[in-house]
């Protein structure tokens, strides 16, 4: 798996129009916190029990072939790494993780979005 800073991921997606951009956060995060423009929601894990989605790989496989570039984003870049490993184990050959995710790491005040992340970098996002 390769890792890209948010701005690098944005440029990669621009340069590789066949790449599939997957937001692997929960449905509630995707809908209410916002998400990158053009990202498809396929949760890696979701509430209420936060169990790993047993159909994650199958849903990605439905959306893309194993040799198509897959770019994964989550809240802070951790869930997307786990999801990326699962895709690689399933035979996907071009998997990319967006470092810092959509909201970035926690700051000293335990808040996200103040230091790093897709949204902090001013990249296109929307809220439903």
pLDDT of residue 32: 94
Q: How many structural domains are present in the chain?
A: 1
Evaluate the omega torsion of the peptide bond into residue 18 and state whether it is cis, within 30 degrees of 0: no
What integer pLDDT is reported at residue 125 of this predicted model?
A: 97
The model's pTM = 0.95
CATH at residue 46: 3.40.250.10
Residues 83, 109, 28, 14, Cα dihedral to 10° = -60
Q: What is the pLDDT of residue 92?
A: 95
Query: Residue 56, Cβ neighbours under 10 Å: how many?
Result: 21
Containing domain of residue 26, as a range?
2-126
Per-residue pLDDT tens for 11-45?
A: 999 999 999 999 999 999 999 999 999 999 999 99
- Percent of the chain that is helix, strand, coil (3-state, to 5): 30, 20, 50
pLDDT value of position 106: 81
């Amino acid at each position: 798996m390769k890792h890209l800073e948010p701005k690098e991921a944005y440029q990669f997606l621009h340069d590789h129009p066949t790449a599939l951009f997957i937001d692997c956060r929960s449905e509630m995060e995707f809908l209410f916190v916002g998400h990158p423009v053009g990202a498809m929601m396929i949760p890696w894990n979701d509430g209420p029990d936060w169990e790993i989605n047993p159909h994650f790989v199958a849903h990605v496989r439905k959306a893309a072939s194993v040799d198509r570039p897959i770019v994964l984003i989550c809240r802070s870049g951790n869930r997307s790494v786990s999801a990326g490993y699962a895709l690689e184990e399933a035979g996907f050959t071009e998997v990319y993780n967006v470092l810092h995710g959509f909201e970035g790491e926690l700051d000293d005040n335990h808040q996200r979005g103040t230091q790093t992340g897709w949204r902090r970098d001013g990249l296109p996002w929307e809220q439903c």
